[in-house]
Chains A and B, each alone.
Chain A
Amino acid sequence: MRKRYLIGGGVLAVAVSLLVYASLSGAVSYYLTVSELLDRGSELYGERVRVAGKVVNDSIEWDADALELRFVITEGGDDLLVVYGGARPSGLNDDSNILVEGELRSDNTFQGSTIILKCPSKYEPQE
Chain B
Amino acid sequence: MDTAEIGQGIIILAFLAALSSVVVAGIGARTGSRRLISITRIAVISTAALYSLALATAVFAFLTRDFSLKIVSEHVDNSLPAAYALSALYADKAGSVLLWGWLISLFSAVVAFRKHEYDNSILPHTLCILAVIQLFFLAMVTFVVNVFEKNPTPVAEGLGLNPLLQNVAMLVHPPILYISFAAVSVVFAIVIAALVTHTPSAQWVRWVRRWTIFGWCMLGLGNLIGMWWSYNELGWGGYWAWDPVENAGLMPWLLITAFVHSISGQRQRNYLQGWSLVLAIFTFEFTLLIPFITHGGIESPLHGFYGSQFPPYILAAILVTLAGSLGLLYARRKDFPKDERSFSLISREGAFLATDIILVLLTAIVLIGTVLPRIVELFGGTRIVIDRSFFDQVAGPIMLLLVFFMGVCPLLGWARTSWQSVRRNLLFSLLATLLVVVIVLIIGGGKWYLVAATVCCFPFFVILLEWFRGAKARHQSRKENYLRAPLALLSSNRPRYGGFLVHIGIILIALGIVVSSFYAVENTAMLDIGQSMKVGEYDLTYKELIFKGSQTKVSAIATLSVSRQGRLIGDMYPENNYWFNYMDTFAEAAVRTTPSEDLFVSLVWTSFDQQDKSVTIRALVNPLVVWIWVGGGFLLLGGVVAFSHQDRRESQRKDR
Contact = CB atoms under 8 A, between A and B. Distances in A.
Interface of A: 9, 12, 16, 19-20, 23-24, 26-32, 48, 50, 52, 64-65, 67, 86-91, 93, 99, 116, 118-125, 127
Given A28-B385, A88-B604, A124-B301, A20 B618 contact: no
A57 B153 CA distance: 33
A24 B586 CA distance: 34
Contact of A125 (B159, B162, B387, B585): B159
B446 interface: no
A119 B384 contact: no
A104 B75 CA distance: 39
Given A67-B526, A124-B301, A125-B74, A28 B394 contact: no
Given A27-B390, A99-B298, A90 B576 contact: yes
B307 interface: yes
Contact of B586 (A31, A91, A121): A91
Contacts of B361: 12, 16
Interface of B: 74-75, 91, 159-162, 164, 235, 298-299, 301-302, 306-307, 357, 361, 365, 368-369, 372-373, 382-390, 393-394, 398, 524-526, 576, 582-587, 603-605, 614, 616, 618
Please name the 5 residue pairs, one residue from A and one from B, whose CB atoms are nearest each other, closest first: A27-B390, A31-B383, A27-B387, A64-B526, A90-B585
A65 B525 CA distance: 9
A77 B583 CA distance: 26
A23 B604 CA distance: 33
A119 B389 CA distance: 23
A119 B302 contact: yes
B299 A118 contact: yes
Nearest to B307: A124
Nearest to A64: B526
Contacts of A27: 386-390, 393
Nearest to B301: A119
Given A24-B368, A27-B390, A123-B159, 17 more contacts: A9-B357, A12-B357, A16-B394, A20-B365, A24-B386, A26-B389, A26-B390, A29-B384, A29-B385, A31-B384, A48-B387, A90-B587, A91-B584, A118-B298, A120-B582, A120-B584, A125-B74
Contacts of A67: 524-526
A30 B390 contact: no
Contacts of B586: 90-91
30 contacts: A16-B394, A16-B398, A20-B394, A23-B394, A24-B368, A27-B387, A27-B388, A27-B389, A27-B393, A28-B385, A28-B386, A29-B385, A30-B383, A30-B384, A31-B373, A32-B383, A64-B614, A67-B525, A67-B526, A87-B605, A90-B585, A90-B603, A90-B604, A93-B584, A119-B164, A122-B159, A123-B75, A123-B159, A123-B160, A124-B306
Which of A23, A32, A86 has the most CB atoms of chain B within a 10 A radius of its CB? A23
B254 to A, nearest CB: 15
Which of B389, B576, B604 has the most CB atoms of chain A within a 10 A radius of its CB? B604
A16 B357 CA distance: 12
Nearest to B70: A125
Contacts of A16: 361, 365, 394, 398
Given A29-B384, A30-B383, A119-B162, A90 B394 contact: no
Contacts of A32: 383
Contacts of B298: 52, 99, 118
Contacts of B385: 28-31, 50
Contact of A123 (B162, B524, B585, B618): B162
Contact of A28 (B164, B384, B576): B384
| Interface of chain B: mostly helix, strand, loop or mixed | mixed
B360 to A, nearest CB: 11
Contacts of B91: 123
A25 to B, nearest CB: 9
Contacts of A86: 524
Contact of B524 (A50, A87, A99): A87
A4 to B, nearest CB: 9
A27 B395 CA distance: 13
A8 to B, nearest CB: 9
A58 B433 CA distance: 59
Contacts of B74: 124-125
A91 B614 contact: no
Contacts of A93: 583-585
A9 B74 CA distance: 52
Contacts of B583: 93
Which of B301, B385, B388, B618 has the most CB atoms of chain A within a 10 A radius of its CB? B385
A29 B159 contact: no
B316 to A, nearest CB: 22
Contacts of A29: 384-385, 387
B152 to A, nearest CB: 12
A42 B219 CA distance: 47
A30 B389 CA distance: 15
Contacts of B369: 24
A24 B375 CA distance: 15
A35 B357 CA distance: 45
Contacts of B394: 16, 19-20, 23
A67 to B, nearest CB: 7
A20 B368 contact: yes
Which of A29, A87, A116, A121 has the most CB atoms of chain B within a 10 A radius of its CB? A87
A89 to B, nearest CB: 6
Given A29-B385, A31-B384, A87 B584 contact: no
B614 A121 contact: no
Given A20-B365, A31-B384, A119-B299, A89 B389 contact: no
Contacts of A26: 387, 389-390
A88 B584 CA distance: 14
A122 B368 CA distance: 32
Contacts of A65: 526
Contacts of B386: 24, 27-28
Which of B160, B372, B386 has the most CB atoms of chain A within a 10 A radius of its CB? B386
Contact of B390 (A24, A52, A64, A121): A24
